[in-house]
Amino acid sequence: MNKAEAAALSIIKSRKTDAELRAAELLDALREDPVFSQIEAERDILRFGIAKLKSKNTDFGHLKEKYEEAEKNFLSYLSSKNLKPEELLPQYACKKCGDTGFVRGRLCECVRQLAYKTLKNNCRALITSIDDFTKIDYTFVPEASRAAYKGAADILDRFLHRNGQSRISVIGLSGKQGTGKTFLLSVLANAMMKSCATVLFYNSVQLNEIFLRYHLAPVEEKEDIFEPLTEADFLVIDDLGAENLIKNVTETYLYELLVFRADKLTGFTSNMNAIQLLERYGHRIASRLCSKENSFIIHLDGKDLRFKNE
């Protein structure tokens, strides 16, 4: 179970407690009426009597009719209060697991769904809610570039299904403005969140602001600012190269971030090619972004951006 699922599980467990508390409160409120208490007690005594006789294999005699009568009184009391009998039971949000979070020892689907919903809410920057590459409507892509675009989507889809069993730690999408790079990485981000990976999706300008805030923050606050960036299972830097280079900030922390994320997945989109990235950020950063061993760069015009000799 990952962090997102653990957080979802604790919410679901608190739902269980709430549901049980609400049911208990309703019953307590009903029992304040002596009429209800009387009807309930009569029914329960008869039910208990029948169970006792049943265990001894003795004939119920007229107890059964009496019990049915008592049950009828019970139900008609409830209906006079506009209540259904099932409303006296805890109303669990998930019928499959009764808000325990587990079904036959395995994590219930509701935990994953809630984790996914929370992850998505925390990642509002995404430009699409599509979470499956097979659901992309390619008719919106100009016909001339449709095949290349679909090819890129297929590569990302295959990557997704490798389930982390890959040495790739950087996925880059390069190409001109408006070629749908951000959209493709958004679909990948959504698809990863569906399997409860934690995702952060920042424009390079926003990321640069975080770097600056980190730079200026008092020592005791620094970790809280930087840690989410290093901890996220998937971090996307959208439109890399669009930010202003801040001296002692942008390059310093971008490099630090890539080093810390060497065993996690980082994605980026950029209008720049490898040479331009190299010129802008220098060799240390560019070789982490575009390394032959650990990066997978898709150029939407079909060119391969990776450095050949690292």
Residues that bind Zn ion (CB under 5 A): 94, 96-97, 108, 110
Paired residues of 269 in beta bridges: 173
Element (H, E) at 236: strand 234-238
3-state helix, strand, coil in the chain (%, to 5): 55, 10, 35
Q: How far is the CB of 190 from Zn ion (least distance, A)?
A: 22
In this structure, the number of other CB atoms found within 10 A of the CB of residue 71 comes to: 16
Task: State the nearest-atom distance from the C-beta of 108 to Zn ion, in Å.
Answer: 3
User: Of 101 and 180, which CB lies nearer to Zn ion in the complex structure?
Assistant: 101
Residues 6+ positions from 156 with CB-CB distance below 8 Å:
133, 171, 184, 185, 187, 188, 298
Measured from the CB atom, the residue of 16 and 261 that comes closer to Zn ion is 16
Instruction: Give the burial class of 231: count Cβ atoms within 10 A of its Cβ; 0-12 exposed, 13-18 middle, 19 or more buried.
Output: middle
Closer residue to Zn ion (CB): 35 or 89: 89
Compare residues 97 and 170 and give the one whose CB is closer to Zn ion. 97
Residue 105 Cβ vs Zn ion, minimum distance, rounded to whole Å: 13
Measured from the CB atom, is 15 or 43 closer to Zn ion?
A: 15
Two tokens, residue 212: 């600056």
> Residue 193 is inside which H or E element, if any?
helix 181-194
Min dist. Cβ of residue 95 to Zn ion (A): 8
**Shortest gap between Cβ of 87 and Zn ion (angstroms)?**
20
Tokens of residue 150, six digits: 């679909």
Among 129, 125, 185, which residue's Cα sits nearest to residue 159?
185
Residue number, 23 or 103, with CB nearest to Zn ion: 103
For the CB of residue 100, give the shortest distance to Zn ion in the complex, in Å: 7
CA dist 102 → 7, 90, 194 (Å): 14, 17, 18
C-beta of 14 vs 244, nearer to Zn ion: 14
As measured in angstroms, the least distance from the Cβ of 110 to Zn ion is 3
CA–CA separation, 190 and 112 (whole Å)? 13
